[in-house]
C-alpha cells in the first residue's frame, strides 16, 4: 500500500471512530443526568415521548428519552435510566427500530434497508471491539436470505468489563409475516445497544 493510500485509509478509520465517539457515550455511565442533558442539547436532540408503558426499576427515576435523526435507517432513540436519589446514570439504551415510528404489523422492508441496518450494526461492533476488545458473539449476519424466513436474521455481541459496565449489542431483521391462531409473526427491523452499570 502506498503512503498516500495508507494515509487516506487512516483518515477514513479515524473519521469513522470519531463519528461514533460523538454519538455513543458509554462514559456517561456513573455520571450525573445533567451531563447527559447537556450533551443531548449540544447534539440538538429532542426529548422523545410515547404512549408506551415504561417499566421503572426500584430506586430509579422515570427514564428520560431523546430522539436524534438518522439517514437511511430508523431515527435513534436514547433512553437514560438514572437513580432517583442522586441522578447518577445507571443504564443507557440506544435503539434504532422501525416499529417506534411505523406501527403496522406487516412492515416489510427492501433488502437495501436491512443492508443499511447491517452496516450500522457492523460499524457499532467495530467501534465497541476497538474500545473493549473481543466480546462474546452469537449469530451471523451473512445469510441475507434468512430475512425472509421464520426466525429472521439475528446477531448479538456482549462485553463484560469487570467492575465497570456490561455492554449488549443485538439486531433482529425479518420480513416474515404469518398469523397462526392467536399468534402473529411480524416483520422486525431493529438494533439495540445497552450500556449498564456493572453489578459484578
Q: How far is CA 52 from each of CA 48, 55, 76, 100, 171, rounded to the nearest angstrom?
A: 12, 10, 17, 10, 21
Phi-psi region of 53 (alpha: psi -120 to 50; beta: other; left: phi over 0): beta
Lowest mean pLDDT among 20-24, 182-186, 189-193: 20-24
pLDDT in tens, 95-142: 999 999 988 888 999 999 999 999 999 999 999 999 999 999 999 999
pLDDT value of residue 11: 42
Record the pTM.
0.87
pLDDT in tens, 60-100: 999 999 999 999 999 999 999 999 999 999 999 999 999 99
Helix 111-132 and helix 3-23, axial crossing angle in degrees, nearest 10: 90
**In this structure, is the dihedral angle defined by the CA atoms of residues 146, 110, 99 and 191, taken in order, positive or negative?**
positive
Amino acid at each position: 500500500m502506498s503512503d498516500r493510500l495508507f494515509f487516506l485509509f487512516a483518515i477514513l478509520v479515524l473519521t469513522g471512530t470519531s463519528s461514533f465517539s460523538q454519538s455513543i457515550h458509554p462514559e456517561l455511565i456513573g455520571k450525573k443526568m445533567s451531563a447527559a442533558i447537556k450533551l443531548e442539547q449540544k447534539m440538538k436532540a429532542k426529548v422523545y415521548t410515547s404512549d408506551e408503558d415504561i417499566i421503572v426499576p426500584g430506586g430509579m427515576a422515570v427514564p428520560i428519552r431523546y430522539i436524534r435523526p438518522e439517514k437511511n435507517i430508523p431515527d435513534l432513540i436514547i433512553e437514560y435510566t438514572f437513580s432517583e436519589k442522586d441522578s447518577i446514570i445507571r443504564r443507557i439504551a440506544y435503539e434504532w427500530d422501525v416499529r417506534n415510528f411505523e406501527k403496522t404489523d406487516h412492515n416489510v422492508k427492501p433488502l437495501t434497508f436491512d443492508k443499511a441496518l447491517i452496516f450500522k450494526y457492523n460499524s457499532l461492533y467495530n467501534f465497541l471491539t476497538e474500545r473493549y476488545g473481543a466480546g462474546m458473539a452469537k449469530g451471523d449476519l451473512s445469510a441475507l436470505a434468512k430475512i425472509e424466513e421464520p426466525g429472521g436474521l439475528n446477531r448479538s455481541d456482549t462485553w463484560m468489563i469487570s467492575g465497570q459496565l456490561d455492554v449488549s449489542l443485538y439486531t433482529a431483521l425479518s420480513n416474515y409475516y404469518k398469523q397462526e391462531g392467536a399468534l402473529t409473526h411480524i416483520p422486525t427491523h431493529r438494533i439495540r445497544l445497552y450500556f449498564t452499570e456493572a453489578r459484578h
